[in-house]
Structures are given as structure tokens and as C-alpha cells.
Chain A
């Protein structure tokens, strides 16, 4: 026991419990098999992981290693997806490690009502990601940048004016983009049961140099999927790119915000 710990992936209601064949042969983090721990009408999906890798000190080092993080995130994701295939699922944040099953059971009991609320909220719904990009190089109003300069101004004045105009148009472009993002987010949120904005991705991570105006997540009813798709289509216009990802398990909507002011366990 002392050399291993219990890694937690996700929670479902016991009546939605994943079929055993879903878990059979499923490799979790560190390649470990996944099992179900049922308690208090809920099921936690867990793996046994070595403390040599998932103890506090090794983890701090591992989290510096993007390959390790990527591999672990994919393994976590794989398990969550398998479970979410046929059940309302509350995914747990990456790298949530308990000392043992008893602690997981205690947590299920303590947080029972919060989980039930979250599971009810996500049932019959999927998360969709919508990323919207604008092209930074494109001025907001091309005509503005080319405004005729008053005659009589010296070259220095003209330079300063151009520079000021350029700064202003950049600011304006940014402000316009932010408003556009807000508008788009609201339009999509109207069709969703819940909506959330993630931070725009770093261009080095997204691989795109365009401005990411919006990195939104939307929890959409299954029977409104078509309506949501139509809303996304309606966003397309010149100068912006829209990228949709999903359906995702409801990662962005599994916060236990009903739990308490801090959303903490308090245990």
C-alpha cells in the first residue's frame, strides 16, 4: 500500500455504471488497468499507480515534462471517454491521486450530493469547443489607415501621425475583436445549457499566429446539437476562422461549484 496510490479519473451514478467490457483492456495512466469503486450510489473509476511516479516529489518533476503531461493527459482522456460513452460522467481534473480506495469511498460519501447535481447537469449533454481566430494583420478599417494626409505637414509630422494612427487602429482592432468575441460567445451560449470561456491559447501551443478571439466551451443538449451547429455556421464571416472541437466529455462543466464558496472539499 505504501508504494502505490489510487488515481481517480471520473465519477458516474451507480445506475449508469460503465459496462465491464468498457474497462476491460483499457489502459489508464502509467498503463495501469482501470477499475470501478462503487459507494453511496456513485461509482469512481480508478487505477493503482506507483508512488514512485505519482508521489508528490516525482509528480512535481514530471509536470515539468511536456511529454509526460501529454501522455498522462491522453491516458486520462482515454479512460474518461470510455466511461462517458454510455453514462453521464463527471471527469476529474488531471492527476488527482488518493492514498487508497478507502479515501476515494470517503470522498464519494462526503461529496455525494454535489456529484449528483453535476451529473444531473451534464446528463444528455455534450461539451463542444469553439475557437474563433481573427487575422491580426488585417486592419479593422482598411480605409482608415490610408486616410489622406493634410498637405503642409512635414515628414516628421506625417510619420508621427502615421504611427499614432497605426497604434490607434491596432487598439481599435483589438477592441473590436474583443467585442466580436463577446457577441459570438453570447450567441452560442444562447443555444447551450451552460457556457464557459477558457483562456485564449498561446500561439506557441495553438500553432496559429492569428488572434484567438474566443476559446469557448459549450454544454449542449443532445437534441439541440443541430441548432448549435447552425449557430456556429452563422458565425462564419470574412476575416475570422471558426474551429469546432468535440463532442467532449463535460470537462469544462464538472466543477463542484455547488459545494461551497471555495469549491473545496473541506474534509
Chain B
């Protein structure tokens, strides 16, 4: 996904995406993203792109998951954290991150041949 999408989004600036909220630059070229300003079009509808089809067609991680990662950065590490009288809140981000990581690893293990992408773990 990297090279191609990266190049396409390289020219995007806040000015060119003005008025569109929550849509990642990546989504700008998507037909369904050309909707009214502030419409939450950045996150495609659940049935917009079947995950398996996207994987098979593009040989890469599905687009909705790529956009989701930016959203999860914000929703799991940002936002107001309130406590007290709660049934539950995700106070323990680490726990969630670990769970997601485990999940991603399992996705990775089950789909490596379809994606054709080399997922070498890399230290960051």
C-alpha cells in the first residue's frame, strides 16, 4: 500500500482537504468520499469494501483498516477520560493495544499468502 498511496497523498495539504472532517487524505480519491463537508465519509460503511475482496484485489491491507489506525490513535490515546460511576472505560490502553496486536498477528498469520506483502516485524 505504501508507495502508491503515499505518493498520491503526498500532495494533500490541509488546504486541499478543507472542510472535510475525519476523512483521511487517503480517502479523498474514493468516490464515496466526495460527500458533504463534515460527513463522516472518511470511514467507509461497513459493507463498502469487503475485507477479503480488498485483500485479494489489491494485495495489501484493506483500506478501511488503514484509515482505522489513524482513528484508533485518537480514540484510544485521545479523547476525554472520565472516571467514576462508569460501567467501564478503556482506561488501560495498553491492554487494548496488546489485544489488538495479538489480533493483528493472528490476522497476519492466517492471510500472508493472499496479501503477497512481506510483513517482517520491524522494531520501532
Chain A interface residues (CB < 8 Å from chain B): 5, 8, 11, 51, 54-56, 59, 63-66, 69-71, 73-74, 76-78, 81-82, 84-85, 90-99, 103, 106-107, 110-111, 115, 118, 126-129, 133, 136, 198-212, 215, 217, 220, 225-226, 228-229, 232-233, 236, 241-249, 251-256, 263-267
Most buried by A among B40, B102, B108, B118: B40
- Give the distance in Å from the alpha carbon of A77 to the alpha carbon of B44 in the complex: 12
- Give the distance in Å from the alpha carbon of A171 to the alpha carbon of B26 in the complex: 31
- How many A-B contacts are there with CB distance less than 8 Å? 251
Contact between chains at A241 and B6 (CB < 8 Å): yes
Contact between chains at A81 and B103 (CB < 8 Å): no
Residues of chain B contacted by A55 (CB below 8 angstroms) = 87-88
Main secondary structure of the interface of A (DSSP, over half): mixed
A77 interface neighbour in B1, B19, B20, B71, Cβ under 8 Å: B71
Residues of chain A contacted by B18 (CB below 8 angstroms) = 225, 247
- Give the distance in Å from the alpha carbon of A265 to the alpha carbon of B83 in the complex: 5
Q: Which residue of B lies closest to A236 (CB)?
A: B10
Residues 42-80 of B, flagged 1 when their CB comes within 8 A of A and 0 if not, give 110010000000000000110011101111111111111
Contact between chains at B81 and A255 (CB < 8 Å): yes
Contact between chains at B72 and A73 (CB < 8 Å): yes
Distance (Å) between the CB of A263 and the closest chain B CB?
Answer: 6
Using a Cβ–Cβ cut-off of 8 Å, how many residues does chain B contribute to the interface with A? 72
Contact between chains at B89 and A93 (CB < 8 Å): yes
Residues of chain B contacted by A206 (CB below 8 angstroms) = 66, 69
- Give the distance in Å from the alpha carbon of A243 to the alpha carbon of B10 in the complex: 6
B9 interface neighbour in A212, A244, A249, Cβ under 8 Å: A244
**Could you jot down 14 A-B contacts, CB within 8 Å?**
A54-B87, A66-B65, A73-B72, A91-B74, A93-B76, A94-B76, A95-B88, A129-B24, A133-B6, A210-B6, A220-B14, A243-B9, A255-B80, A256-B82
